[in-house]
Amino acid sequence: MVDSAGKAAHRSSAVAEAWSVPMLFPPHRQRPKVVVKADLLPAVSVLSTAGLLGIPLGWLWSLLAPAQRVRVVTADGQLAPLELESWHRFDDLAIYGFLALATGLLIGIVAWLMRERRGPVVFLAAAGGATLAAWLGTQLGSAFVNSKYAVDAAPALGAVVAQAPRLESGWVLVIAPLMTSLVYALLTAWNGREDLGRRLG
């Protein structure tokens, strides 16, 4: 009699535990707060280091971008491109765009690998550094190609000369930061942790 009563009590307690309120409504967990002050100095380092990538970006573009061959058509030095040479205007933009994509990809991955500093502060610094690198690359790249294709004397009428590559659109400045933002956002979504794994660093 006592055993059957004990079994019934144990069974009823098990049912009560299974249907208890805490199981249906788990306690609220406190979300990790965004760290700002501790990430400021690393963010400045990310911004400056990423911006320095504009130097190799501009140098590589000056090596790969094709010059446009033009002919001197007037005595005052007016130039006209040869047949099909005007296509190189697009080639110059495309080459710089692909190099900027690679730069943004590199910045986004390296910034994400800083596990202990993951968050919006370093993300904004990485995007800003990619923008700085893109701008610095256009300035230094133009300087490199202008010195490479410098003309010492005025060309004669009818002469064919190589015109330095040019970047004729400012939209190339947004390619690197957009790529950095996309890579960082995809890695954040893939991680899935509330603190992005900072505590595991």
Neighbour order of strands in the sheet with 160-163: 79-81, 68-72, 160-163
Higher pLDDT among residues 27 and 60, named by residue: 60
- Give the pLDDT score at 153: 66
pTM of structure: 0.77
pLDDT digits (tens, 9 = 90+) for 9-33: 555 555 444 444 454 455 555 565 6
Q: Pick the closest to residue 179 from 100, 94, 61 (CA basis).
A: 100
Give φ, ψ of 70 to 5 degrees: -130, 160
List the single range of 24-38, 48-62, 98-112 with lowest mean pLDDT.
Answer: 24-38
**Taking every pair of C-alpha atoms in the chain, what is the biggest distance, in angstroms?**
121
In a domain, 40, yes or no: yes
In a domain, 81, yes or no: no
Higher pLDDT among residues 46 and 83, named by residue: 46
SS3 of residue 109 by DSSP: helix
Domain range enclosing 42: 35-66+87-150+165-190
In a domain, 119, yes or no: yes
Per-residue pLDDT averaged across 141-148, rounded?
92
Q: Which residue has the tokens 């208890």?
A: 20
pLDDT digits (tens, 9 = 90+) for 63-88: 999 988 777 766 666 666 666 667 77
Give φ, ψ of 146 to 5 degrees: -65, -40
Task: Determine contact, residues 53/141, Cβ cutoff 8 Å.
Answer: no
In a domain, 1, yes or no: no
- In the chain, how many domains are there? 1
Per-residue pLDDT averaged across 108-132, rounded?
93
The band of 113, judged by pLDDT with boundaries at 50, 70 and 90, is very high
- Give the pLDDT score at 18: 46
In a domain, 55, yes or no: yes
In a domain, 118, yes or no: yes
5-9, 100-104, 112-116: range with highest mean pLDDT: 100-104
SS3 of residue 198 by DSSP: helix
In a domain, 129, yes or no: yes
In a domain, 102, yes or no: yes
What is the rounded CA–CA span in Å between residue 47 and residue 63?
A: 26
Q: Which two tokens stand for residue 145?
A: 């190609």
